[in-house]
Structure 1
Amino acid sequence: MASRSDRLRPADLAREHGLSAQAIRNYEEAGILPPATRGPQGYRRYTPVHAQALRTFLALRPGHGHQAATEILRAANAADHDAVFRLIDQGHAELLRDRTTLDEVASALEKLASTEPSPAADRAPLTVGALAHQLDVHPATLRKWEEAGVLHPHRDPATGYRHYLPDTVRDARLAHQLRRGGYLLEQIALVIDQVRNAGGVGPLKEELHTWRARLQQRSRAMLDGAAQLSTYLDLTAADGPHRVDSPNRTP
């Protein structure tokens, strides 16, 4: 049984984080906080264990997201440590995949920038055969990329022949680099859309700097969350199942 000095009200937990008392009750109902005991009048009584559970959830959320942080706390409260560590590992694996994707896109853009044709060559549109020859691919490959939404060549209104204007040639070179990196066509189409929306490769490089900064922030958030989680696991392990009493709910 918690001592009187350890008994905290919802408002006591909420105050530390600028939350409402109702938010604390909602977190308990969601399984983020362990069940609270009830006093004779039915009021919830929280303890420092609940306070640390809340700190842990709020620290995990920026790095892992709301749903994953919820699942981690639910598993921790059920003493299912295998599930806790599996969820943590999944979050780090997702972050690594995002970082690898960023590195591959950045590398593809660098290669594209290093092979940009001269301005004079840029002014002349290319036929499907000429572009395929430049990229060392079959013309059917370019038509497949078009069907997947990766390329949007201009069509001659009289003949229907495809003409690849400078922007489309750029998109084809970037797509070629990404395909060599193992990207699926639907993934490449998303990257190409980002290039178009950014107005070219140069502005997209700035976007990549922002993307990398966000990944670094997420990595740091995961470290902060892990520190709080370690404290919470130590606290619950040290105090055992009696640290938080079973709820004594009034009928």
Structure 2
Amino acid sequence: MKDAAPLRTAELVRRSGYSFQQVRDLERLGVLPPAPRAANGYREWSEVHIHALRAYRNLAHALGPVAARHLLTEARTAPFAEAAAAVGAAHADLARAREETLRALEAVRALRAEGTDPDDDAMTITQLAAALGVRPSTLRFWEQEGLLTPDRVTSRGARRYAQPAIRAARVVAVLRAAGHGIPRVRELLAALDRFDGAEEAARLLSARLDHLGTRMLALLRAGSDVAEVVTRAHEETGPPA
């Protein structure tokens, strides 16, 4: 479907809330689909550019500017099924981050609890890294920084992580993902056996949940605009029947 009339840049700026410079920058970065030019050389914007700009604003809040640019580019250029799947994957990533944060909150409580068997469901370094979505080298770095203490079970130094270490690793992973530095994470882990330490860790994890909630809402707001960008980009071939 073709738009009834092209939009001038001033109208695009007014309706999108972006500045002239921001529109030029986002066009250069590929956020906006290419705009045809009229005989006088002026760009002829359309409704799809409004949708793209609105989508980028919410996607940048939900995923970050780089990921937002990548997703919008994929929405326009990838096959229809892949474009739709990219949006679904973004929702799934945020949902996984929320689940891991909830597990970390449970881990904070469990780290202070008594009567747990430390040998229940122990993990190797490969298993724990996979469970947390990090590299084994990251776990070794955390160990070097005093954030994690595994059991060493062979003469070659193979690591086994018992439940206390697994719980601590979940807390570390979420706090690091939330942007907390190594000294702050080390301080919180050392204080978990005190009431105030556990309370502070729980406060930070709760703040992380709130932040993820706002990102998830922003991704939902972007949904209809992204769908319009995908539809316009594929309107000639259309999705598979």
Give the TM-score normalised by the residue count of structure 1: 0.62
AA matched with 2:225 = Q
Whether the 8 Å CA contact 2:30–2:69 is kept in 1: the answer is yes
Structure 2: how far apart are the matches of 1:204 and 1:58? 31
Unaligned runs of 5+ in 1: 117-133, 138-143, 153-174, 242-251
Tell me how far 1:50 sits from its aligned partner. Answer: 1.6
Residue equivalent to 2:130: none
Q: Is 1:19 aligned with 2:18?
A: yes
Specify whether residues 189 and 225 from structure 1 end up closer, same or farther in structure 2 by C-alpha distance, changes over 3 A only: closer
Q: Secondary structure at the match of 1:38?
A: coil
Tell me how far 1:193 sits from its aligned partner. Answer: 2.2
Residue equivalent to 2:42: 43
Residue equivalent to 1:56: 55
Residue equivalent to 1:179: 165
Matches within 5 A, 1:91-130: 91-115=90-114
Structure 2: how far apart are the matches of 1:98 and 1:212? 9
Structure 2: how far apart are the matches of 1:88 and 1:197? 39
AA matched with 1:149 = G
Whether the 8 Å CA contact 1:105–1:178 is kept in 2: the answer is no
Q: Is 1:208 aligned with 2:194?
A: no
Structure 2: how far apart are the matches of 1:184 and 1:15? 46
> May I ask how many residue pairs the two structures share in their alignment?
194
Tell me how far 1:186 sits from its aligned partner. Answer: 7.6
Structure 1: how far apart are the matches of 2:55 and 2:34? 16
Tell me how far 1:212 sits from its aligned partner. Answer: 0.8
Structure 2: how far apart are the matches of 1:49 and 1:189? 39
Percentage of identical aligned residues: 27
Structure 2: how far apart are the matches of 1:50 and 1:101? 36
Matches within 5 A, 1:1-251: 6-78=5-77, 80-115=79-114, 147-150=144-147, 177=163, 179-180=165-166, 183=169, 187=173, 192-193=185-186, 195=188, 200-238=197-235, 240=236
Whether the 8 Å CA contact 1:36–1:46 is kept in 2: the answer is yes
Structure 2: how far apart are the matches of 1:189 and 1:17? 35
Structure 2: how far apart are the matches of 1:188 and 1:62? 19
Whether the 8 Å CA contact 2:58–2:218 is kept in 1: the answer is yes
Structure 1: how far apart are the matches of 2:56 and 2:175? 36
AA matched with 1:73 = L
Structure 2: how far apart are the matches of 1:68 and 1:103? 24
AA matched with 2:14 = R
Structure of larger gyration radius? 1
Whether the 8 Å CA contact 1:10–1:25 is kept in 2: the answer is no
- Could you say what the CA RMSD is over the residues aligned between the two structures, in angstroms? 3.8
Residue equivalent to 2:128: none
Specify whether residues 105 and 8 from structure 1 end up closer, same or farther in structure 2 by C-alpha distance, changes over 3 A only: same
